[in-house]
Amino acid sequence: MVDGLLVFLQGPVRHIKAILVEFWKINKSTTIGAPRSALRRAPTFRSAPEKMLKQCPIMCSTLRWNLEDEIMSGSLSQPLRRKVRHVNPRTVGHLGNGRLLSLVLPPERRGPLKLLCLGAHADDIEIGCGGTVLRLAAEVSDLIVRWIVFSAAGRREAEARNSAVAFLENISEKQIEILGFRDGYFPFQGTDIKDCFEGVKRDFDPSMVLTHWQGDAHQDHRLLAELTHNTFRDHFVLEYEIPKYDGDLGNPAFFVPLTRAQVERKVETISRYFTSQRGRSWFSDETFLAMARLRGIGCNAPEGLAEAFYARKIVF
Ligand SMILES: [Zn+2]
């Protein structure tokens, strides 16, 4: 049961209204807001506070919502089933015109949103979730960021720091740490890295953690993913993906739509600062744009671009 969750529903007003009715029936204590157009045209929901919509006009994620499963399983009421009966049962996650339901950040947060970004190597955070960081920076006014890169030797240290500064340039409260663990040997430095996590936990309680995917083929990435969940056990953790030679991409289910400007800024910043990586065959603008485009397709993003994450646990 979530109180104060703001749900944006995109689609024909009649569908929005029908779905709001269903939400309301399931949990009357949940505060439900509707798009301004739906509020105007569906008087029943005028009580959804416009003020709340103004306070939280952003969507931080897209939840794939398989409405067809709901229809097939009979968990929706007969009137709603009638309203969406024209939906093709073979389309997954689509409602009527092909839009997905989206979740937003809670409208009434207590204090600032504290974001913890964790990356094993110099460019991991930027590649995996740089666009999401740019979007949060643009849409959340009181954002505090702690950004930790665990391994960046030689010229990569300066690259990592300069890139982090560029990605976080519009955020006033930030802490960037570039550590010196040995690249490729994280599993054998586990005690020291674990101590580092415990130190972070003592003085930073994040609202959101962006870290590596636990199924990543790189041993350093996997160790950070494991220690993230080990350390931040009741936190909101999203695991980003890194394309690589090993071919370990999977099917993440948590999507963050991005604007073209955000993706272009991400790619340009990575390209500008990580000059030591230019010789690598996979390290190219095309790789990062292709990833964003594919993930944008996966969530029907408005501008066709997105980043995607794995989530071990999300509470609705
Ligand atoms: Zn890495």
For residue 119, how far is its CA from the centre of ligand 1 (angstroms)?
Answer: 7
Q: What is the arithmetic mean of pLDDT over 197-201?
A: 97
For residue 284, how far is its CA from the centre of ligand 1 (angstroms)?
Answer: 15
- For residue 179, pLDDT over 80 is answered with yes
For residue 177, how far is its CA from the centre of ligand 1 (angstroms)?
Answer: 16
For residue 196, how far is its CA from the centre of ligand 1 (angstroms)?
Answer: 18
**What domains sit in the chain, N to C, each tagged with a CATH number?**
7-103 (no CATH), 113-310 (3.40.50.10320)
pTM of the model: 0.70
For residue 274, how far is its CA from the centre of ligand 1 (angstroms)?
Answer: 13
Confidence of residue 12 (pLDDT cuts 50, 70, 90): low
For residue 141, how far is its CA from the centre of ligand 1 (angstroms)?
Answer: 30
For residue 302, how far is its CA from the centre of ligand 1 (angstroms)?
Answer: 30
Instruction: In whole angstroms, give the CA distance from residue 188 to residue 275.
Output: 29
For residue 131, how far is its CA from the centre of ligand 1 (angstroms)?
Answer: 17
For residue 92, how far is its CA from the centre of ligand 1 (angstroms)?
Answer: 33
For residue 222, how far is its CA from the centre of ligand 1 (angstroms)?
Answer: 10
For residue 212, how far is its CA from the centre of ligand 1 (angstroms)?
Answer: 9
Instruction: In whole angstroms, give the CA distance from residue 281 to residue 171.
Output: 33
- For residue 295, pLDDT over 80 is answered with yes
For residue 147, how far is its CA from the centre of ligand 1 (angstroms)?
Answer: 15
For residue 278, how far is its CA from the centre of ligand 1 (angstroms)?
Answer: 15
Q: What is the pLDDT of residues 130-148, one digit of tens each?
A: 999 999 999 998 999 999 9
Which residues, in sequence order, are bridge partners of residue 238? Answer: 210
For residue 236, how far is its CA from the centre of ligand 1 (angstroms)?
Answer: 22
User: Helix, strand or coil for residue 107?
Assistant: coil
For residue 225, how far is its CA from the centre of ligand 1 (angstroms)?
Answer: 12
- For residue 42, pLDDT over 60 is answered with no
**Lowest model confidence (mean pLDDT) among 2-11, 138-147, 163-172, 173-182:** 2-11
For residue 197, how far is its CA from the centre of ligand 1 (angstroms)?
Answer: 18
CB proximity list for 177: less than 8 A, separation 6 or greater: 146, 147, 148, 149
202 burial via Cβ count (<10 Å: 0-12, 13-18, 19+): exposed
Three-state DSSP string of 161-219: HHHHHHHCCCCCEEEEEECECCCCCHHHHHHHHHHHHHHHHHHCCCCEEEEECCCCCCH
User: Helix, strand or coil for residue 92?
Assistant: coil
Confidence (pLDDT) at 25: 61
Q: What is the pLDDT of residues 93-117, one digit of tens each?
A: 333 344 566 777 766 667 899 999 9
Look over the chain and give the mean of its residue pLDDT values, rounded to a whole number: 79
- For residue 47, pLDDT over 70 is answered with no
For residue 298, how far is its CA from the centre of ligand 1 (angstroms)?
Answer: 24
Q: What is the pLDDT of residues 201-220, one digit of tens each?
A: 999 999 999 999 999 999 99
| Tokens 């300069």 found at | 162
